Structure 1
Amino acid sequence: TTDGPFAESKEHLGGFYIIETDDLAAALVWASKTTEAVGKPIEVRPFRASEA
């Protein structure tokens, strides 16, 4: 049996944050604070919004 048309996965995205900082170092400071607050590791990736 299947659970529907969904791919099976052992991991899933629990949420995400988009923050605006001047550089990667500042983003890593925020990531450290967030990790302390939620008690779970997080991943930092660069993100650029498209200009409208």
Structure 2
Amino acid sequence: MKRIPPDPNVSNETLVEQLKSYAADAPRHHWSRHWMGIAADRIAKLKELAVHRSP
């Protein structure tokens, strides 16, 4: 899978919502949806930490 560089014009919330919608649209396969949900939660936490870290 090719990495897509982060788009500075897209808000963190939008990214998380996109991830969650991808998870919802994924074929009804429990594990893919499960891992997408975990990824979305992790990204949300990382972004939160990044916000706290920035001056």
Q: TM-score, normalised by structure 2?
A: 0.37
Looking at CA atoms only, which structure, 1 or 2, has the larger radius of gyration? 1
Normalized per residue, the structure richer in helix is 2
